[in-house]
Structure 1
Amino acid sequence: MRNRHDITAGFVPLLDSALLVVAKEKGFAEAQEVALTLVRERSWATIRDRLAVGHFEVAHILAPMPIACNFGLMAPAPRMIVPMALGLGGNAVTVSGALWREMADDGAADALDARSSGAALKKVISQRAGDRLRFGIVHPYSGHNYELRYWLSGSGIDPDREIEIVTLPPQDMGDALRSGLIDGYCAGEPWNTFGVLKRGAHLATVKAAIWKSSPEKVLGVNSRWGDSHPDALVALLRALYNASLWCADPANHEELALLLSGPAYINSPAEWLRPSVTGVLKVGRTATQTVSDFFVPHAKAATFPWKSHALWFYTQMVRWGHVDHTAAHQNVAGNTYRPDIYRNALKALGVAMPAASSKVEGALRVETPVGSSGTMTLGPDGFFDGNLFDPDCVDAYIAAQKQA
């Protein structure tokens, strides 16, 4: 008989907590002898703090945040590892109705195209004569911050000089937009849909358009616990992988929306979650767009912790002055993500896994079958500006960003 594993996981009420919720509620954790307790928190700082003091063994966490913890950029902070991603995509850039009307006058359309929306925003900013727009993000060390900045800078907008970026909890974004405290925000679902449905907002673009097939939240593990409880971690990863299969099945999408909407989890109407679960997004008051890869819980190696993802986030930390570029820092970032643990946990399940631990981000322009331990299709994984990130050429990539 297998040993029972007691694991407490923290989460913030967002769409991409789905794998943890489903693992618990649909019995995948129990099938692996995992007694999984989920604890909802309002902020990412609290998630970090409770991981540090041992209240949580693992957590649903922002993809760059474990790297920042390992750099010592926050305190208190545990040493962390990332043995699994919790899906690809899942967030958007949302703007106020008033700002969208200005952008539409300058060529923005409802297609969620990152390039044309960025060009329109640049024109709006150039016409404001020093009146800076303000955008909200959920945390400085978040994919939201780095992807928003990448989109802005790739659109010719200096995110440090031409706009102001402020930090707010995701559930406060819509109300801050309506009150005029901010003009736009980058956040996870359902808070973009909430902004559109209830606060007169408009989607400008989505994460899947800025950087296709990119991670948003990951499983952050206190490495001290992970090192001392390897069997429990393996069991949890297997439960989450099976949950990802369930989440990916369209036949389960309605149940998933209802499950996540419950009072113990996101505690919001299911109508706020159906768009992101199905990919049929409410873009504005009357416009709808289908984005098939808006949130990907399983396909395209969505749960694999690519070292190239970790290293891209590291390059952005360097670019925006959060950390100096050194060989030691690069090594810390790359080793935070642990595909070796992922492979070890899932090999007995016979699942398809990438043969490599890194890839050139942006190299796959279309869906591409790749060599792996089974049948697997990756991509497209491109950046909206057409650039590539080669994890073997980090120095050159950082140098090129300084010149941009």
Structure 2
Amino acid sequence: MDHHLRQISRRKFLATTGASAAASIFLKGCLGAPPEDTPGGTAASSPTANPGTGVKAGQEPEVQTAKLGYIPIVEAAPLIIAKEKGFFAKYGMPEVQVDKQANWGAARDNVKIGSQGGGIDGGQWQMPMPYLITEGLITDGKAIPMYVLAQLNTQGNGIAIAGKHQGKGLGLKLDGKKAYFDQIMAGGTRFKAAYTFPKANQEFWIRYWLAAGGIDPEQQVELLTIPASQTVADMKRGAMDAFSTGDPWPYRIVADKIGFISALTAEIWKAHPEEYFAVRKDWVDKHPKATKALLKAVMEAQQWCDNFDNRTELAKILSQRQYFGVPETVLMEPLMGKYDLGEGRKIDDKSMAVMYWKDSKGSVSYPYKSHDLWFITESVRWKFLPKEYLSKAKALIDSVNREDLWKAAAQDLGIAAADIPTSTSRGVEEFFDGVKFDPEKPEAYLNSLKIKRV
């Protein structure tokens, strides 16, 4: 059964038969293995409400649908794969919608109004967007409480530089390059660096990279917000000197001979937290069983994505017009950890690729509270948040980060105990410049930084 017909048939069949036994047979035949074959899982010991699916008796979701948003970068893969490979349907939610968002601002506005208003219930987010939305800081003062349910991936981002700067030594380390940025300023302009949404992941990466090299990102650089899908065209026409975003866009800069990649974020911070799965609190509180079903589907999708044997198929799925709309070849090499960075520098190392389930430091999917604290601390560093947020961070993180729901879903999914973290902290983190972040001492981290606003 080809993909197109399978999608049409599934919707038509489920719409007319509901949760009948015939639907169970259909799901078993078209959507894959029964629960005992779940990656990382064990044979189910309790009866299922729908044999051939992963729905246990008494665990049927309150609803069969949810509306989740995504941006066309590799971070979105688990949501797309959960839909495409039938994992949402497997856990009793065949009508989940995975909707492309025009940009991060649109995603924010759509979660503000919720699915009842024609928007979304949640989806893919840069950090700390779920916290900023919860606090009403980017939703015109209207607080929309969110829950962080899982981390979608680590790595998979890069900082690309326009070709006119080739040969100027703008690599991972910018030590001694302050004079070059000053020279640009002396010419009556500033080095223009772009990212896809202000005060979030991709701005943090470019700010950290610049500041680590002694470049003040506010004094010597002009910072811009550009949608991910627009970055290549804008750099081609000279509207920016650099941008920070997720694959496949940095790779396209080199492939299209527009520029080069100065640094992968995996070089800046190995196994760094990237983007997250978060949903409105009111939706989760109203639909606890459906929330667990969503989590199990996303987690199984993450395991599927993390298998490098699946990445050829992953590139094929993501490249489709309704998702990323780019050639498979542009996606394939970064997914395999192969990067032509330009200027004669190449990387061929799977450990540098985007990871979805496990990385060099352990669990990817589990949402460590210590990582949320780093994003809040970094927000204080640049005065995106007032310093008082350091003292209220623990209570805020406890209210937003629902790692307990992740653990419950993991246990229900049959994930090995060794793959379920026992601490909400991943411990001390170290960056490429030798700076360390101890989540027990966030103020010591701030004090160690030479360039900051706090």
Q: Is the 8 A contact 2:194 2:244 kept in 1?
A: yes
Whichever of the two has the greater Rg, that structure is: 2
2:156 corresponds to? 90
3-state DSSP class of the match of 1:93?
strand
Counterparts of 2:438 and 2:399, CA distance in 1: 17
For residues 16-52 of structure 1, the C-alpha deviation after alignment (integer angstroms, 9 at most, x for no partner) is: 1100111111111111112221111111111111111
**Aligned mates of 1:347, 1:140 — CA distance in 2:** 36
For 1:194-218, what per-residue CA distance to the aligned partner results, in whole angstroms no more than 9, with x for missing partners?
A: 1111252100001101111112110
Displacement after TM superposition at 1:97 (Å): 1.0
Aligned partner of 2:168 in structure 1 is 102
User: Which residue does the alignment assign to 1:384?
Assistant: 432
Pairing 1:275-314 to 2, within 5 Å after superposition: 275-284=333-342, 287-292=345-350, 293-299=352-358, 300-314=362-376
Contact 2:214 2:451 in 1 (8 A): no
User: 1:14 matched to which residue of 2?
Assistant: 73
Deviation, structure 1 residue 294: 2.6
Partner of 2:137: 73
1:36-95 per-position Cα deviation (integer Å, ceiling 9, x unaligned): 211111111111111111121221111211122123211155211111010101110000
Q: How far apart are 1:333 and its partner, in Å?
A: 4.0
1:152 equivalenced with 2:204 (yes/no): no
Corresponding residue number in structure 1 for 2:426? 359
The share of aligned pairs that are identical, in percent, is 28
Aligned length: 375
Contact 1:196 1:283 in 2 (8 A): yes
Shift of 1:400: 3.6
Contact 1:93-1:185 within 8 A present in 2 as well = yes
Question: What is the letter of the counterpart of residue 88 of structure 2?
Answer: A
CA distance 1:176–1:344, change in 2 (3 Å): same
Determine if the alignment matches structure 1 residue 202 to structure 2 residue 260: yes
What are the residue-to-residue correspondences of 1:185-264 with 2, within 5 Å? 185-264=243-322
Q: Determine the structure 2 residue equivalent to 1:337.
A: 401
The answer to whether the 8 Å contact 1:100/1:204 transfers is no
Structure 2 residue 111 is matched with structure 1 residue 48: no
Q: TM-score, normalized by length of structure 2?
A: 0.79
* Maintained 8 Å contact 1:207/1:294: no
Name the structure 2 match of 1:370.
none
Instruction: Provide closer, same or farther for how the CA distance between residues 334 and 162 of structure 1 changes in structure 2, counting only shifts above 3 A.
Output: farther
The one-letter amino acid paired with 1:18 is A
2:84 corresponds to 1:25: yes
* In 2, Cα distance between equivalents of 1:265 and 1:337: 28
RMSD: 1.9
- Whether the 8 Å CA contact 2:152–2:365 is kept in 1: the answer is yes
Task: Tell me how far 1:259 sits from its aligned partner.
Answer: 0.3
The C-alpha deviation readout for 1:321-355, integer Å capped at 9, x for no partner, is 11112222453145422211111111122322111
Aligned to 2:34: none
Shift of 1:398: 2.9
Q: Name the SS of the counterpart of 2:302 in structure 1.
A: helix
The amino acid across from 1:39 in the alignment is D
Distance 1:50 1:283 in 2: 36
Q: How big is each residue's C-alpha offset from its partner over 1:239-287, in whole Å with a ceiling of 9 and x where there is no partner?
A: 1111111111111111000000001111111111112211101212765
How big is the shift at 1:179? Answer: 1.3
Aligned equivalents of 1:247 and 1:124: distance in 2? 41
Instruction: Name 1:179's counterpart in structure 2.
Output: 237
Query: How far 1:146 sits from its partner (Å)?
Result: 1.0
Describe the SS at the equivalent of 2:325: coil
Q: Secondary structure at the match of 1:128?
A: helix
Partner of 1:398: 446
Residue ranges of structure 2 left out of the alignment (5+ in a row): 1-48, 50-59
State the shift of 1:402 in Å.
6.8
